[in-house]
Structure 1
Amino acid sequence: MRERWGAQPLWARWVLAVYSISFTEGTGSHIADLVRGGIHAYASFPQVSLQVFFVSLVILDPLAAVLVGLVRREGIWLASAVMVWDVSANWWGNRHWLWDDPAQLLWLLPITVFGLFVVALAVPLHCAVAGPASRSPTARPSA
């Protein structure tokens, strides 16, 4: 693992670290929600699909953190997918605040900014992790 991290450019190591730390923090946050509220911790969301998704983040967040920590390309794509779903679910589940009290939506700002960060850097980070050999037209698939 040390070789994988060491082989990355400095910017990629920073981004991987931010991904790992943030998904670990997200794991802790969702575990704390489940400890406080049990399986119905997200009952404030009327859609059962959103409730199930937020509970599933107890598995998806640490999986993304581990895969990113291992410098796996799959982790980058999982992180991107999780953040697209997470940001979308949060905005959809809290859309009533758009009319009732738009200032309440400010608490969605950190997760939205992090989601944009993850998605915006997914392709460059994937390319960095894949290495220069995988970008050459004569490169063979790696095992």
Structure 2
Amino acid sequence: MGFELRERWGAQPLWARWVLAVYLIGLTEGTGSHIADLVRGGIHAYASFPQVPLQVFFVSLVILDPLAAVLVGLVRRGGIWLANAVMVMDVSANWWGNRHWLRDDPAQLLWLMPITLFGLFVVAFAVPLRRTVAGAASRPQAALPSA
């Protein structure tokens, strides 16, 4: 498995390896953030969001973020699409759930900038990264030297 994984990462152009690494960092940070929220607040960690579907979604990110990170780390096309879907929903849910701040205290929205920028990064690179990963997967691999 280690050799195959090294081979998958090595088959990617340098820009794609950097993008995959940023995906991994962001998804891992998101995982840690949601785990910390649940440790602090339990199952009701997101009770400040009045919409129950948002609360359920944010709790589910404890599973979805690391799943996407593992699939991205394995250089799987499905990981890229899952990361994209998770980030679109995560950014949208955060902005929707915190929309009252637009009226009450717009400066509070600054804390949404990191997740928004990461979400835009993931969306911007989703198609080119998927194409590159798919292209590398379809190229024939060099034969291993015989012993």
Residue 50 of structure 2 aligns to a residue whose secondary structure is coil
Q: Over the residues paired in the alignment, what is the CA RMSD in angstroms?
A: 1.3
Between the aligned partners of 1:118 and 1:89, the Cα distance in structure 2 is: 16
Q: Which structure's CA Rg is the greater one? A: 2
* 2:95 aligned residue (91, 99, 117): 91
* 2:55 aligned residue (45, 51, 58): 51
Deviation at 1:22, TM superposition (A): 1.1
Query: Can you list the C-alpha shifts for 1:5-59, whole angstroms capped at 9, x where unaligned?
Result: 0000000000001101110111011000000000000000000000000000000
Q: Runs (4+) of structure 1 moved beyond 2 Å?
A: none
TM-score, reference length from structure 1: 0.92
* 1:120 aligned residue (103, 119, 124): 124
Instruction: Indicate whether 1:21 and 2:25 are aligned.
Output: yes
Contact map agreement 2:12 2:136 (CA 8 A) in 1: no
Instruction: Indicate whether 1:2 and 2:6 are aligned.
Output: yes
Give 2:111's aligned residue: 107
Amino acid at match of 2:46: Y
* 1:82 aligned residue (83, 86, 92): 86
- Structure 1 gaps of 5+ residues are 135-143
Call closer, same or farther: CA 1:132–1:26 in 2, change over 3 Å. Answer: closer
Query: Can you list the C-alpha shifts for 1:53-97, whole angstroms capped at 9, x where unaligned?
Result: 000000000000000000000000000000000000000000000
- Percent identity, aligned pairs only, is 88
- Structure 2 gaps of 5+ residues are 139-147
Call closer, same or farther: CA 1:8–1:95 in 2, change over 3 Å. Answer: same
Call closer, same or farther: CA 1:34–1:133 in 2, change over 3 Å. Answer: closer
* 2:133 aligned residue (126, 129, 136): 129
Contact map agreement 2:24 2:69 (CA 8 A) in 1: yes
Query: Can you list the C-alpha shifts for 1:100-139, whole angstroms capped at 9, x where unaligned?
Result: 01010010001000000000100000011011685xxxxx
TM-score, reference length from structure 2: 0.89
* 1:70 aligned residue (69, 74, 77): 74
Between the aligned partners of 2:107 and 2:114, the Cα distance in structure 1 is: 14
Between the aligned partners of 1:23 and 1:90, the Cα distance in structure 2 is: 16
